[in-house]
Amino acid sequence: MSSSEYYCVPGDRLCPCDRAIAGQGTYEKQNCIYASIAGTIQLTAVDQSSTNPDKKPTIAVVRQDRSLAVPSVGSLAYCKVTNVTSRFVRCLIFAINNQPLKTPCHGRITRENIESFNKDSIVCSTKFRPDDIVLARIISLGDANAYLLSTAEENLGVIAARSMAGEKLIPFSDCQMTCPITNTPEPRKVAKIQSELTDEVSKLA
């Protein structure tokens, strides 16, 4: 991936359509690719084994100092649980894909989307509690009130929570977390920590 010293403003014509594919921060109009944000132009080198039949490079415009966090289908959302009912869990999304949002959005995890197995026999209060920090994925734009989220993957779920005693809970297994002071187990849908991060987490505990 090579980026250049070339800066552009929205509306600058970058190249004709047959030379490259329009990437992030660009749009196509009348057989030409134009920039849609202000930033530096980045050309992604073409992959030899890619499935793209034309083998064209991707041209994108990237803004180095800041970027806009927009909730879109398929992106990871960091949220804080506000309500737990018998049918769904309501939460407040405060970051998308590692970028904080300036104003939080509302999200909802329905009972069927919490786990990928045993979907009908789940009790929501054994999976999430209010004030838990949860990593979820946006699966749909939902309705006017909330985005629809899902934690039905191994690495999604509760990443930080407080126990009844007020201490930070330590993950024990994929369905349990323990309080370090009182040693009581509490049921949660725990997110699996990736192997690269287990060393760092064990240093914290």
- List interacting residues with other proteins (CB under 8 A): 3-5, 7, 9-13, 25, 27, 29, 34, 36-40, 63-68, 70, 101-103, 105-106, 141, 143-144
Nearest-approach distance from CB 32 to other proteins, in angstroms: 10
**Closer to other proteins at the Cβ: 19 or 63?**
63
* Spatial separation of the C-alpha atoms in residues 4 and 65, rounded to whole Å: 15
Q: Are 27 and 33 in contact (CB under 8 A)?
A: yes
Nearest-approach distance from CB 36 to other proteins, in angstroms: 4
Q: Are 66 and 59 in contact (CB under 8 A)?
A: no
Nearest-approach distance from CB 195 to other proteins, in angstroms: 29
* Spatial separation of the C-alpha atoms in residues 109 and 137, rounded to whole Å: 10
**Closer to other proteins at the Cβ: 12 or 186?**
12
- Residue 184 in tokens: 């009581």
* Spatial separation of the C-alpha atoms in residues 199 and 177, rounded to whole Å: 18
**Closer to other proteins at the Cβ: 110 or 176?**
110
Select from 68, 122, 113 the least CA-distant residue to 91. 113
**Closer to other proteins at the Cβ: 66 or 87?**
66
Nearest-approach distance from CB 192 to other proteins, in angstroms: 30
